[in-house]
Structure 1
């Protein structure tokens, strides 16, 4: 298991490395953290499904962010994946045929999410297929997410169809001070690029 953490700002700069930065000192930066299952060969994956919305967490019931700003973040993820040789399946009916699924979540309030091991996730049970009951991290990840955090999770959909759980093989979050308008959006888009920059192992053979 390997973990990377950089700060990202305008322009994008990697200026420090520590697991738990003081958010009050980040100013206009976002801290980008990545982790992955080192036993996985990302080159064996060929196709991926990326929904056209971002899950917004924080309330009793999840909501979905679907406007043009959300699409800019989603398109940034798509661009990164396509540049690394993967093919996006866009038809929801085909999501069960994808090798991997990518889930994007935006946290709008402080929230303790996971303490390692199994995690049922924010998304609805059975989202990726009729048999899946949730997903889990095959490595320990413990975080309290603050306001203005983008979470990216890549799940392996190639496993045993009788299994009730799916593993998260790659995980990233970007968090920091929240700003209004296009500036904050650009920070989030830049954070997507930084997360993939820290994850050179994500590449199709």
Structure 2
């Protein structure tokens, strides 16, 4: 997983560098970057249902430094805009949303980084308050990567993970079959945020044609 995020950092550095040079872009949305990755061995046509929390969490430095605490939630309008767009795309791909206690085939976990280039280890405990039958000994496992990721991303970056709760391994790892990192889209005015959220989350699904039934 570290390799995955090092690639993300590379692209983000390019974006941030270009933003600082003279005669750079006039609008921040020009810098929007959508990264996706997936497990090519997983059949996304098999699962039929998914669940998703009612709020998007914020990952800030305080949350990172105090593991086990419930993360704060994002602004309601922003949170619902993200969830609604994910839901719209999942519905269009043939998936049905259910409650997390109704045995979903997939669980989608959206979060936003809050703070100036937060360094964090994206780990299980961010979701202990939500994930069904949660156990503190669990860990995520990403296809082809180490299970832990430590990196620095821009404030307002949206991270979306798609896990499979039914495939807990003997090592207490939950597979993450799809991931999307959307660079710094939560910034500026509410109207601008909404437009960028719609456009970039749609792009994440456009980049992921395998996500369909």
- TM-score range for the pair, normalised by the shorter chain length: 0.7 to 0.9
Match of 1:22 among 15, 18, 22: 15
Matches within 5 A, 1:1-205: 19-20=11-12, 21-23=14-16, 24=19, 27-29=28-30, 30-61=32-63, 62-65=71-74, 67-89=76-98, 91-94=99-102, 97-109=103-115, 110-114=117-121, 120-121=123-124, 123-125=126-128, 127-130=130-133, 132=135, 133-140=138-145, 143-160=151-168, 164-176=172-184, 178-204=187-213
Matched residues, number = 181
Contact 1:131–1:162, Cα closer than 8 Å, also in 2: no
Question: How many Å separate the matches in 1 of 2:203 and 2:74?
Answer: 22
Q: Hey, which of these two has a bigger chunk of strand by percent?
A: 1
Alignment RMSD: 2.5
Question: How many Å separate the matches in 2 of 1:176 and 1:67?
Answer: 18
* TM-superposed deviation, 1:163: 5.5
Structure 2 length-normalised TM: 0.74
Secondary structure at 1:64 match in 2: coil
Question: Could you list the runs of 5+ residues in structure 1 that have no partner in the other structure?
Answer: 4-17
Contact 1:100–1:156, Cα closer than 8 Å, also in 2: yes
Contact 2:109–2:161, Cα closer than 8 Å, also in 1: yes
Question: How many Å separate the matches in 1 of 2:178 and 2:188?
Answer: 27
Question: How many Å separate the matches in 2 of 1:75 and 1:31?
Answer: 20
Secondary structure at 2:152 match in 1: strand
Question: Could you list the runs of 5+ residues in structure 2 that have no partner in the other structure?
Answer: 5-9, 64-70
With 21-30 and 54-63 compared, the bigger mean Cα shift is at 21-30
Secondary structure at 1:63 match in 2: coil
Structure 1 length-normalised TM: 0.77
Q: 1:112 to 1:69 in 2, by over 3 A?
A: closer
Contact 1:174–1:188, Cα closer than 8 Å, also in 2: no
Question: How many Å separate the matches in 1 of 2:52 and 2:75?
Answer: 13
